[in-house]
A and B are shown apart, each in its own frame.
Chain A
Amino acid sequence: MKKKLNAYLLAGLIITGLLLLMTLIGAFHTPYDPNAMDSLAKFQHPGGSHIFGTDNFGRDIFSRVLKGSGTTLAIALATVAIGAVFGTLIGALTGYFGGIVDDTLMRLNDALTAFPSILLALLVISLVGPGKYNVVLALGLVFIPSFARVTRTAFAGLRDVNYITSARLMGASNLRILAVHMLPNTMRVLLPAITIGFNNAVLAEASMSFLGIGVTPPDASLGYMLSEAQSMFARAPWYALCTGGVIAALVFGAGLIGEGLQKMDREVA
């Protein structure tokens, strides 16, 4: 049962890895100050000293994109972490123990997952107000049900498997069974769910910031930058193209990883 890397997974890892590396470097060093204005260098075309060009204030777009993707990535990762941890916790408990709590929680879950995540997030934002941390909170909360649903099915499926029964007979505690015996076996559904969740988080954060109710200035995220870029598309189309391109590349990379993971899973099975 050898796990072979397939082309999708490899391509996805390369794209995502490069973007992550760039963002990581961008967190410590950008070629220009992302907010420094240069009135002599307005609307510079890409190439030369500014590889992505400059905007209406003469700010270096490449530096801004690096900074913006840092914010977007941080929010997406934090969101997925909240969703995955709490979702798995709920999924594990309801899937393993079952009963009336399971039934009620899953009814609620079905109702929540039927709603578009962006609408739920907007609802939370309307309650708590915009801002970086509130976006994380809103999206994190919104993603918990989908993770809970996916993991619940996996945990419930493992409940009566032979090796779990024998572990129980040998006197293993519920906690040990859940964490040591079951959790590793839910990875095959959890990992693709994480990549999908990451994509949804990137898109949702970008949409909310694009609408002006997500990340607020001075924090810049890719979505907010894209809304800036739309107003000057006629004069500086490269601004929108670079920003939108990076969002698309982030989601594309993670999507390929997800595709690759599922393919690997099918081939192993």
Chain B
Amino acid sequence: MKYALKRILTLLVTMLLVSFLTYAAFEVISGDPAEAILGTEATPERLAALRHEMGLDRPFLTRYIGWLTGFFSGNLGISYRYHQPVWELIGPKLEITLCMCLVSFIIIAVISVPLAIWSYRFVGGPFDWIRTAFNQLCMAVPPFFTGILISWLFGIVLRLFVPGDFPDLHTDFGAALGHLFFAAICLCIPRTAMTVRMMRSTVIGEMQKAYVRTAISRGNDRRAVLNRHVLKNSLTSAVTFLGQTMAELIGGSVVVEQVFGIPGLGRLLVASISTRDYPVVQTVVVILAFWVVLAGTVADLVNQRIDPRLRLGGDA
């Protein structure tokens, strides 16, 4: 419990630090927001008035604290490009991206562990090279390429969904989920391959340990030892890796959303970067950063629950 509290405290401090750094970075590069809104031909009086209205004449730290409280109370200013409150713009898109990442995370978590155990059977066998080559191939094909192929095959040929026409998440949840499922598949392929590869080498390392040799020499079945002991011990590194996967998925979603025409957070980010819509970019970056830090913390907390060595405060 103490560990969890400490970990959550670290999480909060990290988030605070990340948000501060992001705010400072954008403060430096974004120039004058008043000028960005009014254009270069605005009169100095109007600029000054708007600056005062937006609170830009206040000191930096005051503005940061104002922005941070705005982040949690839902008041983040107005997008330069859409002329819409930033929070209203981001909210629905965040839901979509989260749904997509969760779907692909579930797929990865469910299939990679059995696949890793299954692939362990090939170790040292004559067909191991096929498995390795296939594994490498899965990691090599970029998600946006599989995305093009999948949206063509399932979208245009089989007509299971309409690429680029994303159903509303609230009114038509089933159809939206179906659409997200295909996108999630593209995200999953390379990441599953990586997880399997990682798990497999952990299992191989674990199987060489003394306790496994003892268990087998006492007459236990090799597969039972693998399933009962080795798997449990390999689980902590898998959980850590899955935490990283959760972070990587949100990075990969940026590209996949573009391919499938899903109006998610990643697409918004890319559009806002190209139009220099800094209030939006800033907020999206902070949300994504929170997401990454949160995923790591959750993985640590889960590990602490499942590994008694960590639970008692020692090192794994």
Contacts and interface: CB of A to CB of B under 8 A. Distances in A.
A229 B296 CA distance: 37
B239 interface: no
B273 A122 contact: yes
A177 interface: no
A123 B285 contact: yes
Contacts of A66: none
A237 interface: yes
Nearest to B143: A207
Interface residues on A, range: 35 or more
Contacts of B274: 130, 212-213
B270 A210 contact: no
B313 to A, nearest CB: 21
B176 interface: no
A211 interface: yes
A255 B254 contact: no
Chain A contact residues: over half helix, strand or loop, or mixed?
helix
B258 A203 contact: no
Given A114-B292, A212-B270, A240-B148, A207 B132 contact: no
B248 A203 contact: no
Interface in A176-227: 199, 203, 206-207, 210-213, 223, 226
Interface in B14-42: 14, 25, 29
Contact of A213 (B25, B152, B273, B289): B273
B145 A247 contact: yes
Interface residues of B, number: 39
A251 interface: yes
Contacts of A229: 148
Contacts of B137: 248, 252
Contacts of A230: 148, 259
Given A206-B142, A226-B148, A259 B251 contact: no
A111 interface: yes
B298 interface: no
Nearest to A249: B140
A256 interface: yes
A8 interface: yes
Given A118-B255, A211-B254, 11 more contacts: A11-B133, A119-B254, A199-B140, A206-B144, A210-B258, A230-B148, A234-B152, A244-B142, A248-B145, A251-B140, A255-B136
